[in-house]
Homo-oligomer: A and B are copies of this chain.
Amino acid sequence: MNPVDDLIEFLRFQSVSADRAYRAHVIECANWLEARFQKMGLSAHRFSTPGNPVVVACNERKAGRKTLLIYGHYDVQPPDPLDLWQSPPFEPVVKEGKIFGRGSTDNKGQILAHILGIESALAENHDLPLNLIVLVEGEEEIGSPNLESFLRENKHVLQADVVAVSDTGMVAPGVPTFTYGLRGILCFEIRLRGPAMDLHSGIFGGSVANPATELSRILAKLHDDDGRIAIKGFYDKVLPVEDWERKLWSALPYTERNWLETTGSPVLAGEKGFSFLERVWARPTAEVNGLAGGYQGEGSKTIIPGTAMAKISFRLVPRQDPFELKTSITDFLKQRCPKSVEMEIISQHEGKPYLVKPDSEFGNAAQEALRRTFDKPIAFIREGGSIPITQSFKEILGIDTLLLGLALPDAKVHSPNENFPIENLHAGIRLNRELLNQISQL
């Protein structure tokens, strides 16, 4: 089958993990994957979890060969808002060299490139040059709640030398990109309670604290006037950007101008003393993700709200420990809460930052595979997002992750009109074959 037709078939499954209503489609998609692996000659199995199934495929494990674990996910983000799609999200179409559909880049197109690379190697040589395990999960878009325990329970089966993941970005079309760092994450919800109910701001205003005002005053203290996070000890373990990184990054095709265009912000902003790429890739942040309190409707309602709420999240950088910082952040917030309101802090989820040396043994093999596939100089980047599972591979299986992404900046991942260039699908197939070869030669 033609790779594009194969991807179109994969994309038709409405495997949305965030909404249980799609559950039947998720199962169908996992079944399809299992059968797909079996058809190409791998032994494959669909494992149940408390959530969505994990599909694992492998060849015969032979002594004296390297073992590569390839990780990806078959679940996708919800397709909303539907009315902004130019073609239906689960009826893939090819237009101007790109496949449009939910999941086309994130992650079906990328994991399928791995699968088709393996298939072509198998078809040619009736065997692979290494031991291979492919793990495709169905809950990445909701934070992989069951994957860590799956890794622990199946630790021996999954034992490998290195992991390869294609779920990160390419800096530009045709530019081989090696992602060697990711940020961690730490999310909270803060709730403030003042008066027992919304109060008339005339009858009571001046006598009691306003939770929306107090919440603003607390959130305002998160940063100092230089945009630095004002929590004591927050930067203590932050690993500084090294000179070789600055040098590599300065060669990347990112400018303030195109960053402004992409974000639509009036100007760029953030922590003083760092370039915008350093701020996004190598400096931690504190963001208010959501804010609510009192009257939000049309016109005015003169009340003192009974409660106010903020959702906040921190992106962490290498050496920062989310579990340690959880305590500092909670203490910081509680200490700044006046007695006139009550504060509740709900800790939501966290993930550690990730950093590998690009020139490790496996890193070099991956670089060689990228070079041979794209025939261009490699872009070495970190990314501001979080893939907490990389840290689980490190802690549970004791191995590093190679992040070899194929997502373009305008792939519209998580947004309407998500797309994946056919060129990247083919490049991904070649990249995977090269990777198998390079790793087998170590």
> How many of chain A's residues have a CB under 8 angstroms from any CB in B?
101
A234 touches B (CB below 8 Å): no
Task: Report chain B residues within 8 Å CB of A414.
Answer: 198-200, 301-303
Query: Of B19, B195, B269, which is within 8 A of A297 by CB?
Result: B19
Is the pair A289, B303 in contact by a Cβ cutoff of 8 Å? yes
Scan residues 191-224 of chain A and give those whose CB is less than 8 A from a CB of chain B. 193-210, 212-213, 215-217, 219-223
Is the pair B20, A298 in contact by a Cβ cutoff of 8 Å? yes
A87 touches B (CB below 8 Å): no
Scan residues 275-321 of chain A and give those whose CB is less than 8 A from a CB of chain B. 276, 279-280, 283, 285-305, 308-311, 313, 315
Interface flags for A401-442 (1: CB within 8 Å of B; 0: not) read: 000000000001111110000000000000000000000000
Query: Of B220, B298, B340, B386, which is within 8 A of A266 by CB?
Result: B340
How far, in angstroms, from A285 to B303 measured CA to CA in the complex? 12
How far, in angstroms, from A287 to B416 measured CA to CA in the complex? 33
How far, in angstroms, from A222 to B304 measured CA to CA in the complex? 15
Task: Report chain B residues within 8 Å CB of A264.
Answer: 195-197
Query: Of B219, B309, B416, which is within 8 A of A213 by CB?
Result: B219
Task: Report chain B residues within 8 Å CB of A201.
Answer: 285, 287, 289, 313, 315
A385 touches B (CB below 8 Å): yes
Task: Report chain B residues within 8 Å CB of A195.
Answer: 263-265
Q: A213-B223, A298-B20, A300-B289 are in contact. Are A203 and B384 (CB under 8 A)?
A: yes
A383 touches B (CB below 8 Å): yes
Q: A203-B280, A265-B195 are in contact. Are A270 and B187 (CB under 8 A)?
A: no
Please give me the residue from chain B that is nearest to A282 by CB atom: B206
Is the pair A202, B300 in contact by a Cβ cutoff of 8 Å? no
Is the pair A301, B289 in contact by a Cβ cutoff of 8 Å? yes
Is the pair A205, B303 in contact by a Cβ cutoff of 8 Å? no
Which of A7-15, A76-84, A158-166 contacts its partner? A76-84
Task: Report chain B residues within 8 Å CB of A311.
Answer: 294-296, 300-301
Task: Report chain B residues within 8 Å CB of A63.
Answer: none
Q: A197-B415, A197-B416, A264-B197 are in contact. Are A206 and B283 (CB under 8 A)?
A: yes
A142 touches B (CB below 8 Å): yes
Please give me the residue from chain B that is nearest to A221 by CB atom: B220
Could you say which of A207, A280, A315 has the most chain B C-beta atoms within 10 Å of its C-beta? A207
How far, in angstroms, from A142 to B303 measured CA to CA in the complex? 13
A250 touches B (CB below 8 Å): no
A127 touches B (CB below 8 Å): no
Which of A53-61, A341-349, A357-365, A371-379 contacts its partner? A341-349
How far, in angstroms, from A216 to B219 measured CA to CA in the complex? 6
A157 touches B (CB below 8 Å): no
How far, in angstroms, from A348 to B417 measured CA to CA in the complex? 33
Is the pair A384, B289 in contact by a Cβ cutoff of 8 Å? no
Task: Report chain B residues within 8 Å CB of A290.
Answer: 212, 293-297, 301, 305
How far, in angstroms, from A191 to B315 measured CA to CA in the complex? 26
Query: Of B18, B222, B288, B384, which is within 8 A of A294 by CB?
Result: B288
Task: Report chain B residues within 8 Å CB of A285.
Answer: 201, 205-206
Could you say which of A203, A222, A280, A313 has the most chain B C-beta atoms within 10 Å of its C-beta? A203
Is the pair B213, A142 in contact by a Cβ cutoff of 8 Å? no
A339 touches B (CB below 8 Å): yes
How far, in angstroms, from A259 to B204 measured CA to CA in the complex? 9
Task: Report chain B residues within 8 Å CB of A412.
Answer: 197
A267 touches B (CB below 8 Å): yes
Is the pair A288, B206 in contact by a Cβ cutoff of 8 Å? no
Enumerate 19 A-B pairs (CB-CB under 8 Å) in ascending A order. Answer: A19-B299, A187-B300, A195-B265, A198-B416, A200-B415, A203-B280, A204-B384, A206-B276, A206-B285, A206-B315, A207-B259, A208-B269, A210-B288, A217-B220, A217-B223, A269-B340, A288-B305, A292-B292, A300-B311
5 additional contacts, CB 8 Å, given A207-B276, A216-B217, A291-B305? A78-B295, A202-B383, A212-B288, A289-B294, A291-B291
7 smallest A-B Cβ distances: which pairs?
A196-B264, A202-B385, A220-B220, A206-B279, A269-B340, A216-B219, A212-B288
